[in-house]
Structure 1
Amino acid sequence: MKTRFVSFNSIAVLVLLVIAWSAPSAHSEPRDPAWMLSIAKSAYFHLAVRGKLKADAPSADPQRTGKAFAVGPNMLVTSQHNLGSPDDWEKKKDPSIPVEITRALQPLDREIVLNRNSAEPSISGLTNPTVLPTPAYTIDAAGLLLPNLNLKTYFQLSFCPIQTDGSYYAIMTSGDSKSASSVDNPVVAKLKAVGYKPEEFGGLYEFSAEEPILFAKDRNGHDGSPILAGDGSVVAIVSAVNLETGGRYRILATPVQPFFSVASSILSRTIDESSVSENANEPLKCSLSEAVDRIEKEVAAHAVWSLKVSREENGAPKDEIYFSYESISDKPNIDHIDVYFNFVGENRLEGGVRNRNELVTIPVPADANSKKYFTLTPTVDDDHRFATSKIVRLGREVIESQFAQEGFGGYIEYVELTIYPFLKNKRQLNKRVLQFNWTEVPK
């Protein structure tokens, strides 16, 4: 592959243009509940925790249940209180483990078991993940790292602010929410954002569950579930389900924030576009990472196009013409181009009427050009170049042949070419207009 260079000025202009265009985009297309449940089927887990608590632990319950959800190939999120503080649990004593390893690991007498929908392919390694707690245990969120896990589908985190009175959606379960089999029956519960009440709930955000109530009416077993915005991204994690006086269900949740335990790991991760989940094509919504990623993609999507036309000795164009582009993208990113064309010149109509000094678009007979454009893909030897002989041959064999007929006359002054590039992800870029003179006087 050839090494390609783009001038500093070209890059500077592109960057300035992209920064000007890179204001936060409008909300993504809304997702329906069926789509949300399709992600939950693979990326929503039941969590069971059991072990030996210290005598002075705040909670006397050595067995806890809740939920967790995937935010990366091997990263899950749950509520911190499902796991408890390391200070809550007795240290695990195993004489078979060398002392130096015990000092390093500081193992707890605690077992964490994860289960997902039984209809999904079974996966190993869902026991005792590495716990990534938040710096402060007043933040009810924690990450679970399973190094050998490689999920293809997972949820997308969002740093977008929660909109008061806005509609949101919690993935929860029907049936016995404390059972591992509950994830076989996920439901989408519609919520209304109420707001913060620091004097009552500290840093938790209050949501109100709207009718009908589809989730299991149990205070336990739901904590750690994701709350989604309309576009399917996660804005908060369920911390508590509370039944108010009057029968209304209140959902208290921990909003996703930059100090959230797994966020730094996700922010620092380079996106592998070949394996990223279809629903998680941005690392973090409303984050600096998202903005940088968007700018990078926009700059890479801009290409500087050129046109090469070889000439015969008399200055007429040779059959093959070449479109090529320069881009700062590391890899060739143009999949194909659609080429529209116009022959412009002087057309002397039948009957001897001559349009003097008036260049017009010369019509192409319908039988010679049934389509107004054609599609080109990169050449075999250069993936930044596109070649065609159709245009020159059409001009020579059809247009000029028509001029040579008795009663006609004229000439082609230049050819105008409008190209529409398409990226490999099928996105269409802005059109580019190029042109070349039909005949050039030999030097």
Structure 2
Amino acid sequence: MTMNDPSETGAIAAGTPVVDVCINGAGPVGATLACRLTAAGMKVLLIDRAALPGQEDPSFDGRAYTIAEGSRRMLAAAGVWTHLGDRPQPIRAIHVIDGQPHRRPSSWSLDFTEEDADGPFGFTVEARDLRTALNTALTDREGLILRAPDTARFTFDAAGVTVHLASGETYRASLAVAAEGRRSPLRDQAGIGVTRLPYDQCGIITVIAHEKPHHGRALEHFLPQGPFARLPLAGNAGHPHRSAIVWADGTLRAQRAYALPDDVFAREIAGRMGDDALGDITPLGRRWIYPLSAQYAQRYVGPRLALAGDSAHGLHPIAGQGLNAGFKDIVALSALLEEARRRGDDLGDAQLLMRYQRRARPDNMMMLAACDGLERLFGNDNPALRLARDWGLKTMNRMPGLKRAFVRRAMGL
């Protein structure tokens, strides 16, 4: 990390605008953090290299997010959830099976219902809808300075952070937050190491229409080549029954599947739906494919710097918890910053940042280990392991207390 010498610090022009926090990266985590902090009365500089309205285009990002109940509450407190309207689809049941493509799955399955969660487990939200809601929430928000598209150069000294925007402006902040994604420039500048776990898999994401309603039920089908998930989506005027598909497979197999004609692609999806009978399937729109890996930063903090979201950790999508882990970072960091501001303390204080790391990192490491363990346990065709995991699904299905504890953990409660 670049530390200014006294002469450089002293060269900062008098009257340089001052903010409490500068957030580099206006993706879902960075933008939500900005909304949360400004709702608490802080002044925030939010920077992104891309123009935010362009990210509302359906071709920009085809993902669908699973928003846990704890994350939904945080989005509501940040003033974002209300702008989603009726687009979030409640997840009312989850069906977990183990099997092989184009074959009947094991008869030992695991089913979660609303009784296990005292309501919906969470909500499925398309990325473009969340982006639109965030952009609306950011509009004319008091205390927010939004610079997008723009980039910045950051210099750090004992008293704060100087942010030099490419557009020519300069700001001072007590704290910088890196919410830039897995390839975080600020993390690299701080010299924070990253451990990466490759999987030799790619994920295919797309949206399908189906003949029969999903009734809010999600499917998780563990397959030897990688997990396959169907997430219920809200319908629209042209397609009343829709779902998002997240299909992980070996790299070469995924690339071949990605290139299939629509009719063959639909048959391959149907062959992975197991006993999730939804009738005829029609792929909608384009497909996306990307390599899968997990990673974690060795530290979440540096002098006057905090990492959040994918800058700090990246999970395998097997449990759909990646964004929720980032939202947990927001909950931990914003609570500490709000408390410090009420006391009049320095928002970039090293002890405050260490408290953030102690709150956020252990839980994220546990989730990363759980996702990695699930992938390694279920992502093979070893007969002994197949028997053990099927027995495990059956056993959990018969233990309501264990199911409820597992569900509350996954819901972020």
- For Structure 1 versus Structure 2, the TM-score category normalised by the shorter chain is under 0.3
Bigger relative contact order, structure 1 or 2 (CA pairs below 8 A, ≥6 apart)? 2
Name the TM-score, length of structure 2 as normaliser. Answer: 0.23
Bigger Rg, structure 1 or 2: 1
Name the TM-score, length of structure 1 as normaliser. Answer: 0.22
